[in-house]
Chains A and B, each alone.
Chain A
């Protein structure tokens, strides 16, 4: 798929076919995520790949917006390692760029995906920490739910000329 087409055509997909995602595609997804830029190239991202049905169901209960994980064959938990930081506080931006890369790669691979936010909501963070046995250094940032899409969405045209200023804000 063409890169610009992938960027413009990516949508949040929340319904999936009942079949697994191949291991080779899982690897491509985490490789794409790790190709993101990071502050001082600190690469503070970490990943937990979840396919176990029971664990996916538990994650579905860890946020009011994660229920769709009950019907997803795959979830990738993206965490920030706060002890890996050279530039303090930038792990959020590192993990956001990695998450976006993963979503785009998923779309390019014919998968559907949606970004579920966990950080900074304390109860969601602690829930995922417990379910995925994360050490204190790792903060669960987001979960990307993944699968072969069973819904189709046209590209969203979000361009808004009012959001662009020239030279200065005024």
Chain B
């Protein structure tokens, strides 16, 4: 799939068929995630791949909005290594870039995926930490539900010219 096409057509897919996702596809998605940029190239992302359907169901129940994980072929939990930081707190940003790469790779592979937010909510972080037995220095950012899509969604037209200004926010251009 063409790169710009993959970016513009990616949608959140929450319904999946029962077809499994191959290990090769999971590997490609993880390679894509780790190709993201990071501050001083610290690469503080870590990943837990979940395929056990009981564990997926558990993750889906203990986190609001995560119901789609129960019907997913796999889940990838994107975590950050928070110890020894040169740039405190910035792991959230790096792991977000990695998550976006993973979603785009999934779309390019013909898979469906959705980004389920965990970080910023202490209760969700605690639940996910418990289910995955994450040590204190590994913090979950997001979960990706992954599978073969059972729904087809048109590209979203999110472009909004009012959100783009020239030179300064108070430009006299079309953005105002």
The main secondary structure of chain A at its interface with chain B is: mixed
The A81-110 residues at the B interface (CB cut-off 8 A) are: 87-90, 92-93, 96-97, 99-101, 103-105, 107-109
- Cβ of A46 and Cβ of B163 under 8 Å apart? yes
- Cβ of A45 and Cβ of B163 under 8 Å apart? yes
Known: A34-B160, A49-B164. A89 touches B120 (CB 8 A): yes
Known: A12-B37, A49-B165. A167 touches B52 (CB 8 A): yes
Known: A37-B103, A165-B46. A160 touches B34 (CB 8 A): yes
CA distance A16 to B73 in the complex (A): 44
Known: A3-B2, A100-B97, A101-B100. A163 touches B163 (CB 8 A): no
- Chain A residue numbers with a CB within 8 Å of B97 are 96-97, 99-100
Known: A35-B8, A101-B7. A4 touches B108 (CB 8 A): yes
- Chain B residue numbers with a CB within 8 Å of A37 are 10, 12, 100, 103, 115
B127 CB within 8 Å of chain A: no
Known: A37-B115, A169-B134. A132 touches B35 (CB 8 A): no
CA distance A99 to B37 in the complex (A): 10
**A5 is contacted by which of B3, B5, B156, B160 (Cβ under 8 Å)?**
B3
- Chain A residue numbers with a CB within 8 Å of B132 are 167-169
Known: A92-B93, A99-B97. A8 touches B32 (CB 8 A): yes
- Cβ of A100 and Cβ of B166 under 8 Å apart? no
- Cβ of B47 and Cβ of A100 under 8 Å apart? no
CA distance A88 to B96 in the complex (A): 16
B4 CB within 8 Å of chain A: yes
- Chain B residue numbers with a CB within 8 Å of A111 are none
**B160 is contacted by which of A4, A12, A43, A160 (Cβ under 8 Å)?**
A43
- Chain A residue numbers with a CB within 8 Å of B155 are 35
Q: How large is the interface on B (under 10, 10 to 19, 20 to 34, 35 or more residues)?
A: 35 or more
- Cβ of A93 and Cβ of B5 under 8 Å apart? no
Query: Closest CB of chain A to B126's CB: distance in Å?
Result: 15
The B65-121 residues at the A interface (CB cut-off 8 A) are: 87, 89-90, 92-94, 96-97, 99-101, 103-105, 107-109, 115, 117, 119-120
A52 CB within 8 Å of chain B: yes
- Chain A residue numbers with a CB within 8 Å of B34 are 158-160, 163
Instruction: List 8 additional contacts besides A90-B120, A92-B96, A108-B4; criterion CB under 8 Å.
Output: A3-B108, A34-B159, A92-B92, A100-B100, A115-B37, A117-B93, A134-B168, A167-B52
- Please list the 4 inter-chain residue pairs (A to B) with the smallest Cβ-Cβ separation, ordered nearest first: A96-B96, A3-B6, A6-B3, A108-B3
Q: What are 29 A-B residue pairs whose CB atoms fall within 8 Å in the complex?
A: A3-B1, A3-B107, A4-B105, A6-B6, A34-B163, A35-B158, A46-B163, A46-B164, A46-B165, A49-B167, A52-B167, A90-B120, A93-B119, A96-B94, A97-B96, A97-B99, A100-B96, A100-B101, A101-B104, A104-B3, A104-B104, A115-B37, A131-B168, A158-B34, A163-B45, A164-B48, A165-B49, A169-B132, A169-B135
Interface residues of A (CB under 8 A from B): 1-8, 10, 12, 28, 30-32, 34-37, 39, 43, 45-52, 55, 87-90, 92-93, 96-97, 99-101, 103-105, 107-109, 115, 117, 120, 131-135, 138, 155-156, 158-160, 163-170
